[in-house]
Chains A and B, each alone.
Chain A
Amino acid sequence: MASPDFDRVFGALADHTRRDIVRRAIDGREGVAELAGHYPMSFAAVQKHVAILERAGLVTKQRIGRRKVVRTNLHGLHAARRLLDRYEDLWRDRIDRMTDFITNTKETET
Protein backbone atom coordinates (compact mmCIF):
# COMPACT_ATOMS: atom_id res chain seq x y z
CA MET A 1 0.00 0.00 0.00
CA ALA A 2 1.12 3.51 -0.74
CA SER A 3 1.88 5.72 2.24
CA PRO A 4 0.60 9.30 2.60
CA ASP A 5 4.02 10.55 1.52
CA PHE A 6 3.69 8.88 -1.80
CA ASP A 7 0.20 10.28 -2.18
CA ARG A 8 1.53 13.73 -1.64
CA VAL A 9 4.22 13.38 -4.25
CA PHE A 10 2.06 12.08 -7.03
CA GLY A 11 -1.31 13.47 -6.13
CA ALA A 12 -4.54 11.61 -6.40
CA LEU A 13 -4.08 8.80 -8.87
CA ALA A 14 -7.15 7.43 -10.54
CA ASP A 15 -5.67 4.00 -11.10
CA HIS A 16 -4.16 2.21 -8.13
CA THR A 17 -2.56 -0.55 -10.16
CA ARG A 18 -0.71 1.83 -12.44
CA ARG A 19 0.46 3.88 -9.52
CA ASP A 20 1.70 0.74 -7.84
CA ILE A 21 3.49 -0.41 -10.98
CA VAL A 22 5.22 2.98 -11.23
CA ARG A 23 6.35 2.57 -7.63
CA ARG A 24 7.57 -0.99 -7.97
CA ALA A 25 9.39 -0.22 -11.21
CA ILE A 26 11.58 2.43 -9.58
CA ASP A 27 14.13 -0.29 -8.86
CA GLY A 28 13.83 -1.62 -12.40
CA ARG A 29 14.33 -5.21 -11.27
CA GLU A 30 11.13 -6.86 -12.41
CA GLY A 31 9.75 -7.78 -15.78
CA VAL A 32 6.07 -7.76 -16.70
CA ALA A 33 5.62 -11.38 -15.54
CA GLU A 34 7.06 -10.64 -12.08
CA LEU A 35 5.00 -7.47 -11.79
CA ALA A 36 1.88 -9.40 -12.73
CA GLY A 37 2.49 -11.69 -9.75
CA HIS A 38 1.71 -8.83 -7.36
CA TYR A 39 -1.83 -8.24 -8.57
CA PRO A 40 -5.05 -10.26 -8.50
CA MET A 41 -5.51 -9.86 -12.25
CA SER A 42 -4.45 -11.52 -15.45
CA PHE A 43 -1.00 -11.16 -17.02
CA ALA A 44 -2.71 -9.53 -20.00
CA ALA A 45 -4.36 -6.92 -17.78
CA VAL A 46 -1.05 -6.01 -16.15
CA GLN A 47 0.63 -5.97 -19.53
CA LYS A 48 -2.00 -3.48 -20.67
CA HIS A 49 -1.31 -1.20 -17.70
CA VAL A 50 2.42 -1.35 -18.44
CA ALA A 51 1.74 -0.53 -22.09
CA ILE A 52 -0.30 2.54 -21.09
CA LEU A 53 2.51 3.70 -18.81
CA GLU A 54 5.09 3.01 -21.50
CA ARG A 55 3.15 4.97 -24.12
CA ALA A 56 2.89 7.87 -21.70
CA GLY A 57 6.67 7.80 -21.25
CA LEU A 58 6.36 7.02 -17.55
CA VAL A 59 8.12 3.64 -17.69
CA THR A 60 10.54 2.09 -20.15
CA LYS A 61 11.45 -1.52 -20.84
CA GLN A 62 15.14 -2.25 -20.59
CA ARG A 63 17.05 -5.34 -21.57
CA ILE A 64 19.32 -6.73 -18.89
CA GLY A 65 21.05 -9.80 -20.26
CA ARG A 66 18.28 -12.04 -21.45
CA ARG A 67 15.63 -10.38 -19.31
CA LYS A 68 13.51 -7.36 -20.02
CA VAL A 69 12.74 -5.23 -16.98
CA VAL A 70 10.30 -2.38 -16.51
CA ARG A 71 11.83 0.80 -15.15
CA THR A 72 10.14 4.01 -14.01
CA ASN A 73 11.12 7.19 -15.80
CA LEU A 74 11.39 9.56 -12.85
CA HIS A 75 12.15 12.49 -15.06
CA GLY A 76 8.99 11.97 -17.09
CA LEU A 77 6.91 11.35 -14.02
CA HIS A 78 8.04 14.55 -12.48
CA ALA A 79 7.49 16.52 -15.67
CA ALA A 80 3.96 15.15 -15.70
CA ARG A 81 3.33 16.22 -12.16
CA ARG A 82 4.67 19.71 -12.70
CA LEU A 83 2.74 20.25 -15.88
CA LEU A 84 -0.51 19.09 -14.30
CA ASP A 85 0.15 21.59 -11.49
CA ARG A 86 0.72 24.28 -14.08
CA TYR A 87 -2.54 23.41 -15.83
CA GLU A 88 -4.39 23.46 -12.56
CA ASP A 89 -3.19 27.06 -12.03
CA LEU A 90 -4.11 27.99 -15.58
CA TRP A 91 -7.66 26.68 -15.24
CA ARG A 92 -8.14 28.14 -11.76
CA ASP A 93 -7.28 31.56 -13.20
CA ARG A 94 -9.67 31.02 -16.08
CA ILE A 95 -12.47 30.00 -13.76
CA ASP A 96 -11.88 33.10 -11.64
CA ARG A 97 -12.25 35.22 -14.77
CA MET A 98 -15.40 33.30 -15.80
CA THR A 99 -16.91 33.85 -12.36
CA ASP A 100 -16.09 37.57 -12.47
CA PHE A 101 -17.55 37.88 -15.94
CA ILE A 102 -20.79 36.10 -15.01
CA THR A 103 -21.12 38.23 -11.86
CA ASN A 104 -20.49 41.47 -13.72
CA THR A 105 -22.92 40.73 -16.53
CA LYS A 106 -25.56 39.78 -13.94
CA GLU A 107 -25.17 43.17 -12.28
CA THR A 108 -25.58 45.09 -15.52
CA GLU A 109 -28.70 43.07 -16.35
CA THR A 110 -30.47 44.06 -13.15
Chain B
Amino acid sequence: MTVTAVKKDPSALTMTLDAEFDAPPERVWQLWADPRQLERWWGPPTYPATFTKHDLAPGSRVEYHMTGPEGDQPKGYWDVLEIDPPHRLVFRDGFANDDGTPNDDLPRNEVRMTIEGISEGKTRMSIESIFPNTQAMEQILAMGMEEGLTEAVGQIDAILAEQRVA
Protein backbone atom coordinates (compact mmCIF):
# COMPACT_ATOMS: atom_id res chain seq x y z
CA MET B 1 0.00 0.00 0.00
CA THR B 2 1.82 3.12 -1.12
CA VAL B 3 -1.13 5.51 -0.93
CA THR B 4 -1.09 6.74 2.66
CA ALA B 5 -3.85 9.36 2.72
CA VAL B 6 -6.73 10.63 0.60
CA LYS B 7 -8.77 13.72 1.31
CA LYS B 8 -11.70 14.82 -0.79
CA ASP B 9 -13.39 18.17 -0.33
CA PRO B 10 -16.40 18.56 -2.62
CA SER B 11 -17.06 22.06 -1.28
CA ALA B 12 -13.64 23.14 -2.55
CA LEU B 13 -13.64 20.75 -5.56
CA THR B 14 -10.31 19.37 -4.42
CA MET B 15 -8.82 15.93 -4.01
CA THR B 16 -5.53 15.41 -2.18
CA LEU B 17 -3.66 12.15 -2.17
CA ASP B 18 -0.37 11.26 -0.45
CA ALA B 19 1.80 8.33 -1.47
CA GLU B 20 5.12 7.00 -0.19
CA PHE B 21 7.90 5.45 -2.23
CA ASP B 22 11.00 3.47 -1.26
CA ALA B 23 13.20 5.76 -3.30
CA PRO B 24 14.95 9.11 -2.82
CA PRO B 25 13.17 12.33 -3.94
CA GLU B 26 15.38 12.69 -7.01
CA ARG B 27 14.27 9.26 -8.24
CA VAL B 28 10.58 10.11 -7.82
CA TRP B 29 11.13 13.46 -9.56
CA GLN B 30 12.49 11.61 -12.59
CA LEU B 31 9.08 9.97 -13.02
CA TRP B 32 7.85 13.45 -14.02
CA ALA B 33 10.96 15.05 -15.47
CA ASP B 34 11.86 12.27 -17.91
CA PRO B 35 9.13 11.97 -20.57
CA ARG B 36 9.99 8.33 -21.28
CA GLN B 37 9.44 7.49 -17.60
CA LEU B 38 6.29 9.63 -17.48
CA GLU B 39 4.87 7.58 -20.35
CA ARG B 40 5.21 4.46 -18.25
CA TRP B 41 2.56 5.57 -15.78
CA TRP B 42 0.51 8.57 -17.00
CA GLY B 43 -1.95 6.54 -19.07
CA PRO B 44 -3.45 3.13 -18.28
CA PRO B 45 -2.08 0.09 -20.17
CA THR B 46 -5.08 0.28 -22.54
CA TYR B 47 -4.41 3.98 -23.27
CA PRO B 48 -0.64 4.52 -23.06
CA ALA B 49 0.53 8.13 -23.29
CA THR B 50 3.14 9.56 -25.66
CA PHE B 51 4.66 12.93 -24.76
CA THR B 52 5.57 14.76 -27.94
CA LYS B 53 6.67 18.02 -26.28
CA HIS B 54 8.03 18.03 -22.77
CA ASP B 55 9.78 21.14 -21.54
CA LEU B 56 9.15 21.67 -17.85
CA ALA B 57 9.52 25.42 -17.44
CA PRO B 58 7.04 27.99 -16.15
CA GLY B 59 4.83 29.16 -19.02
CA SER B 60 5.73 26.28 -21.31
CA ARG B 61 3.27 23.80 -22.75
CA VAL B 62 3.69 20.06 -22.57
CA GLU B 63 1.87 18.07 -25.26
CA TYR B 64 0.83 14.45 -25.28
CA HIS B 65 -1.59 12.00 -26.77
CA MET B 66 -2.93 8.69 -25.64
CA THR B 67 -3.42 5.73 -27.95
CA GLY B 68 -6.54 3.65 -27.48
CA PRO B 69 -7.23 0.02 -28.42
CA GLU B 70 -9.08 1.18 -31.56
CA GLY B 71 -6.19 3.38 -32.60
CA ASP B 72 -7.97 6.51 -31.38
CA GLN B 73 -5.59 9.20 -30.17
CA PRO B 74 -7.12 11.70 -27.76
CA LYS B 75 -4.78 14.64 -27.18
CA GLY B 76 -3.97 16.52 -24.03
CA TYR B 77 -1.67 19.23 -22.79
CA TRP B 78 -0.23 20.72 -19.62
CA ASP B 79 0.40 24.38 -19.02
CA VAL B 80 3.30 24.46 -16.59
CA LEU B 81 2.71 27.06 -13.87
CA GLU B 82 5.47 26.38 -11.33
CA ILE B 83 8.48 24.15 -11.12
CA ASP B 84 11.06 23.62 -8.37
CA PRO B 85 13.09 20.42 -8.99
CA PRO B 86 12.99 17.95 -7.35
CA HIS B 87 10.22 19.19 -5.07
CA ARG B 88 7.33 20.86 -6.80
CA LEU B 89 5.47 20.91 -10.09
CA VAL B 90 2.21 22.78 -10.72
CA PHE B 91 0.38 22.53 -14.02
CA ARG B 92 -3.01 22.75 -15.65
CA ASP B 93 -4.03 19.58 -17.45
CA GLY B 94 -6.47 19.99 -20.33
CA PHE B 95 -7.83 18.35 -23.45
CA ALA B 96 -6.58 19.37 -26.89
CA ASN B 97 -8.13 19.39 -30.36
CA ASP B 98 -6.85 17.08 -33.10
CA ASP B 99 -4.39 19.77 -34.23
CA GLY B 100 -2.98 20.01 -30.70
CA THR B 101 -4.49 23.39 -29.80
CA PRO B 102 -6.17 23.53 -26.37
CA ASN B 103 -9.84 22.68 -26.42
CA ASP B 104 -11.30 25.41 -24.23
CA ASP B 105 -14.76 23.86 -24.32
CA LEU B 106 -13.55 21.03 -22.14
CA PRO B 107 -12.66 21.43 -18.48
CA ARG B 108 -9.13 21.61 -17.17
CA ASN B 109 -7.91 20.66 -13.77
CA GLU B 110 -4.98 22.02 -11.87
CA VAL B 111 -2.49 19.54 -10.43
CA ARG B 112 -0.12 20.56 -7.64
CA MET B 113 2.51 17.91 -7.06
CA THR B 114 5.01 18.03 -4.22
CA ILE B 115 7.83 15.66 -3.34
CA GLU B 116 9.64 15.53 0.00
CA GLY B 117 12.13 13.16 1.56
CA ILE B 118 10.79 11.67 4.80
CA SER B 119 13.76 9.48 5.76
CA GLU B 120 16.77 7.82 4.14
CA GLY B 121 15.56 6.41 0.82
CA LYS B 122 11.90 7.21 1.52
CA THR B 123 9.87 9.88 -0.22
CA ARG B 124 6.39 11.28 0.10
CA MET B 125 4.64 12.55 -3.00
CA SER B 126 1.49 14.59 -2.62
CA ILE B 127 -0.98 15.24 -5.44
CA GLU B 128 -3.59 17.95 -5.18
CA SER B 129 -6.14 18.02 -8.00
CA ILE B 130 -8.39 21.08 -8.19
CA PHE B 131 -11.35 21.71 -10.49
CA PRO B 132 -12.64 25.12 -11.53
CA ASN B 133 -16.35 24.49 -10.92
CA THR B 134 -18.99 21.80 -10.75
CA GLN B 135 -20.07 22.58 -14.29
CA ALA B 136 -16.64 21.45 -15.46
CA MET B 137 -17.01 18.33 -13.38
CA GLU B 138 -20.41 17.57 -14.81
CA GLN B 139 -18.95 17.96 -18.26
CA ILE B 140 -16.25 15.43 -17.52
CA LEU B 141 -18.86 13.10 -16.11
CA ALA B 142 -21.02 13.56 -19.18
CA MET B 143 -18.08 12.51 -21.33
CA GLY B 144 -18.62 8.97 -20.14
CA MET B 145 -16.21 8.86 -17.28
CA GLU B 146 -19.07 8.28 -14.90
CA GLU B 147 -22.63 7.08 -15.15
CA GLY B 148 -25.70 6.83 -13.04
CA LEU B 149 -25.77 10.44 -11.92
CA THR B 150 -29.52 10.75 -11.78
CA GLU B 151 -29.89 7.57 -9.82
CA ALA B 152 -27.18 8.70 -7.42
CA VAL B 153 -28.85 12.05 -6.88
CA GLY B 154 -31.90 10.14 -5.71
CA GLN B 155 -29.72 8.32 -3.21
CA ILE B 156 -28.17 11.46 -1.87
CA ASP B 157 -31.60 13.01 -1.41
CA ALA B 158 -32.60 10.04 0.71
CA ILE B 159 -29.49 10.24 2.85
CA LEU B 160 -29.87 13.95 3.36
CA ALA B 161 -33.48 13.45 4.35
CA GLU B 162 -32.36 10.99 7.05
CA GLN B 163 -29.82 13.52 8.18
CA ARG B 164 -32.46 16.16 8.75
CA VAL B 165 -34.67 13.88 10.83
CA ALA B 166 -31.74 12.83 13.03
Residues of A within 8 A of B (CB): 3, 5-6, 9-15, 18-19, 22-23, 26, 52-53, 55-58, 73-88, 91-99, 101-102, 106
Contacts and interface: CB of A to CB of B under 8 A. Distances in A.
| A interface secondary structure, majority | helix
29 contacts: A3-B163, A11-B8, A11-B10, A12-B7, A15-B11, A15-B12, A23-B163, A56-B134, A74-B156, A76-B134, A77-B134, A79-B138, A79-B141, A79-B149, A80-B134, A82-B146, A83-B140, A83-B145, A84-B10, A84-B14, A88-B8, A95-B3, A96-B2, A98-B19, A98-B28, A99-B19, A101-B40, A102-B21, A106-B23
A83 B137 contact: yes
Contacts of B8: 11-12, 81, 84-85, 88
Contact of A88 (B6, B125, B149): B6
A56 B149 contact: no
Given A74-B157, A98-B31, A101-B31, A86 B146 contact: yes
Question: What bracket does the count of chain B residues touching chain A fall in?
Answer: 35 or more
B9 A13 contact: yes
A83 B135 CA distance: 11
Contacts of A57: 133-135
Given A5-B166, A81-B8, A98-B41, 20 more contacts: A9-B159, A18-B11, A19-B11, A55-B133, A74-B160, A75-B138, A76-B135, A77-B10, A79-B134, A82-B141, A82-B146, A82-B149, A83-B140, A83-B146, A84-B8, A85-B8, A87-B15, A92-B17, A97-B41, A102-B27
